[in-house]
Amino acid sequence: MMYSAAARLTPEDLYDAARMAFMEMALSGITTVGEFHYLHNQADGSPYDDPNLLAKQVVRAAREVGLRIALLRVAYARAGYQVAANPRQSRFIEATPDLYLTNVEKLRTDLTSMSGEAWVGVAPHSVRAVALDHVKAVVEYGNQANLPVHMHVAEQPAEVSACIAEHGRSPVALLESEGLLSDRFTGVHVIHITAKAARMIAAAQAMVCACPTTERNLGDGVVPIDLLLAENINVSLGTDSQTQIDLLEDARELEYHLRLQKMGRAVLSQPDDEDQSALAARLFACATINGARSLGIAREPLEAGSGADFFTLDLDDPSVAGATLDALLATVVFSLNKSAVRDVVVAGKQIVEDGRHFAQEEITTRFKALQQRLWS
C-alpha cells in the first residue's frame, strides 16, 4: 500500500498529505518537525525539472501550517546489499552521491531566505539503502557544512545481519570505525545494539531518535533507552509516519516498553531520584529540547528576543485534572491526552487557539479528498 501511494502522489497530493501530518503535530503541541524526506522523482524515476520540487512542497506545507522544519533530504541509492533493484523505489533513488549532493546544495541555496523557519539536513537512509562510499560522501558533506545528519541505524535484525555480511561489522561499529559518528549525527531507531555500541555513540557525542509507537507497530523491537541514558546520550523522539502522532505518548512508551520487556517498574529511574518527577523530566526532555538539538536548534530561554515557541494545556482536562503542582509534570508526561493542548505558538505567532488550528477545516477537507482518490 505504501508503494502504491508513493507511485501515485502528485506534488500537490504530497503537499496536502504533509499539511495534514504537520497540522496533527501542531495540535499535539509540536512546533518544529524534522522531515526524513525521500520521495524525490517522478513516478517513472526521472527527475522533475526542479529535482527539489517535492522537498519544497513539504517545506511549503510546514510553513503554511506554521511549523519550523528541518528538511532532512534522504540519500537512497539501492534496494539493499546484493539485492536486485526494486522498480517500486524509483521515486526514492538518486544513484550517485554527486547527484544527491548537487541537489542538496541547490535546496540549501533556495531556502536561504527562510533562515530560522526552514533549513536542510542530510540523511543517508541506512546501510541497507546506501553503500558505504555513498554514506561517507554524504556525511562528510554534512559535517563540512555543519548540517544535521540523520540515518536509520540498527532498526531491524535483518539490517544488522546484512551490514555484517557486507562490511564485517554491525551498523554502529561500521559508522564508528569509519569516523562517521559526531555531535551532528542522529541515529534513528537504534534498537538492536549492544552496551559497547552505546558507548561508541556516547564517545562521539552522537544522538538517537527513538520512534516507540512506530517501532511497536512494525514489530521492530524495543529501543534500549536504559543503555542510552546510562551513557548520557541525547535521545529525541520521532513519529516516523505513524498514524498516531503524539510525542508524549512516545515519551512514556520509552519507559513502558522496557517495563514489559524487563518485567519491572520505573526502569529508567535513578538511585538519586526523589520522586517520579525526575523520571518525567527525563522523558519530557526527549520530547522537547533533545529534539531541538538533534535538528540543529540552539536551546534558548523564553525571554525577550528569543524564539517564542510554546504550548498551553487545559489543566481541567480529565486526563490531568486535580494534579498538584509538585506532581504536574509527571501527570502530564504519564497521563496527558493530547486533546488537552489548547494553544500553540511558533516564533510568536499563534497557530492553534483553543484546540483548533487556524486552517483546520480546509486542511482536513483537502486531505479527505486525497484519501478518497488514493484508496477508493
Catalytic residues: 189, 240
For 370, phi then psi, to 5°, come to -60, -45
Query: Is 188 within 8 Å of 153 (Cβ atoms)?
Result: yes
Q: Which sign, positive or negative, has the C-alpha torsion 263, 264, 269, 272?
A: negative
Query: Is 149 within 8 Å of 113 (Cβ atoms)?
Result: no
| Alpha carbons 179 and 288: distance in angstroms, whole number | 28
DSSP 48: P
| Alpha carbons 244 and 338: distance in angstroms, whole number | 11
CB atoms within 10 A of CB 25: 21
- Using the structure block, give the residue that is written with the C-alpha cell 522523558: 283
Q: Cell numbers at residue 175, please? A: 559508522
CA distances for 217 relative to 192, 221, 222, 247, angstroms: 16, 9, 11, 15
| Alpha carbons 138 and 34: distance in angstroms, whole number | 18
Secondary-structure breakdown of the chain: helix, strand, coil percentages, each rounded to the nearest 5? 45, 15, 40
